[in-house]
Amino acid sequence: MHGVDGWLRRALPGRCVFCLASLPGEAPWCAACFAGLPWNRPACDGCGEPQPSTQAGFRCGRCLRRPPAFDRARVPLRYTNEVAGLVQRFKFEASPRAGSLLLELLMTGLTPDAPAWPEALVAVPLHPRRARERGFDQALWLSRRLARRLGCPLVRAVRLRDTPSQRGLDRGERRSNLRAAFGVSAGLPGRVALVDDVMTTGATLEALAVACRRAGAREAEAWAVARTPLHDR
């Protein structure tokens, strides 16, 4: 498969990254494991919230009542099972193997029109103190490689406030916690995609979308690898 990091192939030559079965082609996974991943389908086109099959193709009631600050969400997977394990190894252990696999899954899960859509990418930034403590900025890592794959610039946003942890907060509390938390230099192009590893309620990406619109973006999409199902929050 074009674009998979070369070292990932070397680490597991000819083997599925999930089950270690022999592979006949270039893809890093077998067809059975790929089909069995927790794909986020159907999902709300507005916020990426997983939806029941009867709601396929419709926006959820929350987006109809209060549309998010971004125009749509592209989040191909659900944060559960194998995907949750990959994200945790990437985020907290800085595993480049897990990160490369998540990047490939994101690219594979995007609709055909998506790669040519953004004129720039904007990564969800960590506060400098949090980045120093963790020693790794997962959204920036993903965004740099994604920007190279798509051939578009990466614009750096800044976190203006070291906001308290979002863990345990509901949607409204998360929005309040992140109000005016981000800054982006003026002069953004018209179409930007905002990039994070996991989307929980969407509050972080909403706050960044607001900052991007103030900096000149007319349209903003939220891109993440995985969406946390409502019952898992």
Give residue-wise pLDDT tens across range 99-116.
999 999 999 999 999 999
Band (pLDDT 50/70/90 cuts) for residue 3 is very low
Q: How many structural domains is the chain composed of?
A: 2
Q: Is the same domain home to 7 and 117?
A: no
Chain segment 52-92, per-residue pLDDT in tens = 876 667 899 999 999 999 999 999 999 999 999 999 999 98
- The sign of the torsion formed by the CA atoms of 158, 160, 161, 162 equals positive
Q: How far apart are CA 25 and CA 149, in angstroms?
A: 21
Do 54 and 32 lie in one domain? The reply is: no
Instruction: Name the residue with higher pLDDT: 175 or 205.
Output: 205
For residues 228 and 146, membership in a common domain is answered with yes
Q: Are residues 43 and 32 in the same domain?
A: no
Tell me what the mean pLDDT of segment 209-215 comes to: 95
- Average pLDDT score over residue span 187-211: 95
Domain hosting 220: range is: 38-232
The pLDDT value recorded for residue 173 is 54
Same domain for 11 and 111 = no
Q: Which of 8-17, 81-90, 211-220 comes out lowest in average pLDDT?
A: 8-17
End-to-end CA distance of the chain: 34
Cα distance between residue 124 and residue 117, in whole Å = 19
Contacts of 159 (CB under 8 A, 6+ apart): 125, 126, 127, 128, 130, 181, 182
- Which amino acid makes up residue 143? S
- Is the per-residue pLDDT at 162 higher than 70? no
Statement: residue 167 has pLDDT above 80: no
138's enclosing H/E stretch is: helix 138-150
For residue 39, what pLDDT is reported?
Answer: 97
Instruction: Say yes or no: 189 and 221 in one domain.
Output: yes
Same domain, 69 and 160: yes
Give yes or no: residues 6 and 110 share one domain.
Answer: no
| Gap between the Cα atoms of 168 and 23, Å rounded | 42
pLDDT in tens, 110-153: 999 999 999 999 999 987 777 677 778 999 999 999 999 999 99
Q: Indicate whether 72 and 109 sit together in one domain.
A: yes
Do 159 and 126 meet the contact criterion of CB atoms below 8 Å apart? yes
The CATH number of residue 137's host domain is 3.40.50
Q: What is the pLDDT of residue 27?
A: 82
Distance between CA atoms of 55 and 119, rounded to whole angstroms?
Answer: 31
Instruction: Note the pLDDT of residue 110.
Output: 94
Residues 10 and 46 in one domain: no
27 and 6 both lie in a single domain: yes
Which amino acid type is present at position 81? N
Are 26 and 49 part of one and the same domain? no
Q: Per-residue pLDDT tens for 19-51? A: 989 988 778 899 999 999 999 999 999 999 999
**Full-model pTM:** 0.87
